[in-house]
Chain A
Amino acid sequence: MPVTNIDKNAEKSVTETSFLSARKMPSEPWMWFFILGDMSIFAIFFGAYLWKLGANRDVFIGEAASLVLSLGLFNTLVLLTSSYTVARAVHAYRQGDDALTRTMLGWSLLAAAIFIGTKVVEYSMELADGHGLTTSAFFMYYFVLTGLHLLHVFIGSIFLFNWRLSLSGKTLECDLHSHSRAEGIAGYWHMVDLLWLLIFAFIYIGSSS
């Protein structure tokens, strides 16, 4: 059967409809490219770490044995939970449920505080054992990667705190009310979670003995 112009137009229309029916992207494209850029910086560190791990596997495995796996696991579960509560906060925010949004963000902030507190305890234990930034290649990567990540947790917590504060009407930054801004903050926090999942896998599990 010959293909008519009507068929071609119908096919084109379906293709265009499929393209346009792609789900609406949360936040703005620039925010996602910023997040990708940030993740790429970490990826360079991950690559360098794995390169060194391959070259000095026995040494790295020996030094990683002094890390407290249970604290790493605990922090991973804490950060996963905070990511979950932020995702719930976004849903509640879209539905206009400010009370639930505040509650969920409160849990997220509590989880962030627990994460930071646990990390400080872990750093104190390592320093007490004589492991510092300049002790060895392994501990240099450990402190730089986890320290850089901790900085992101701190920055993300400030964003979350500002978002929560804006719900209470205690700030003049009215643009924080916009959904796009809230989705951007949530996206940043999920990136922090995603990066920790990789750090935990590379440093705590991948280098275990």
Chain B
Amino acid sequence: MNPSVRRINIVYFCLVAITILSVGLTTDMAHSLFSARTVAGMAAILAFIKARYVMLEFMELRGTLMQRVFDCWLLIACLASMLLAFR
């Protein structure tokens, strides 16, 4: 198999795994362990991790000059989301 196709396959399965994992945050157990603010913050962090995977591997911006621009955007949006989620 083409290495880049293999890479896309791995990233896809990772994204699916993180998505299913993130649904665990909606369970009673997660809500008994964490506050609503923490759940919102953790959900946002997992979403931004997935978004970065999409940007690097699916959009193919890894190693390009545009990667820095998108990384800055994602970092600012993630930090702002954290601040608002924990407010």
With most chain B CB atoms within 10 A of its CB, the pick from A25, A81, A90, A204 is: A25
A205 to B39, CA, bound (A): 8
Mask, A10-34, CB within 8 Å of B = 1, is: 0000000000001111100100100
* B contacts with A, residue count (CB < 8 A): 46
Mask, B7-37, CB within 8 Å of A = 1, is: 0100010011001101101100001000011
Q: Within 8 Å of chain A (Cβ to Cβ): is B75? A: no
A61 to B80, CA, bound (A): 20
Please give the residue numbers on chain A whose beta carbons come within 8 Å of chain B beta carbons, in ascending order. Answer: 22-26, 29, 32, 36, 39-40, 43, 46-47, 50-51, 53-54, 57, 61, 69, 73, 76-77, 80-81, 83-84, 86-88, 90-91, 183, 186-187, 190-191, 193-194, 197-198, 200-202, 204-209
Closest 10 A-B residue pairs measured CB to CB?
A: A201-B47, A50-B84, A206-B40, A23-B63, A54-B87, A208-B26, A205-B43, A25-B64, A84-B12, A206-B43
Please give the residue numbers on chain B whose beta carbons come within 8 Å of chain A beta carbons, in ascending order. Answer: 2, 4-5, 8, 12, 15-16, 19-20, 22-23, 25-26, 31, 36-37, 39-40, 43-44, 46-48, 50-51, 54-55, 57-66, 69-70, 73, 77, 80-81, 84-85, 87
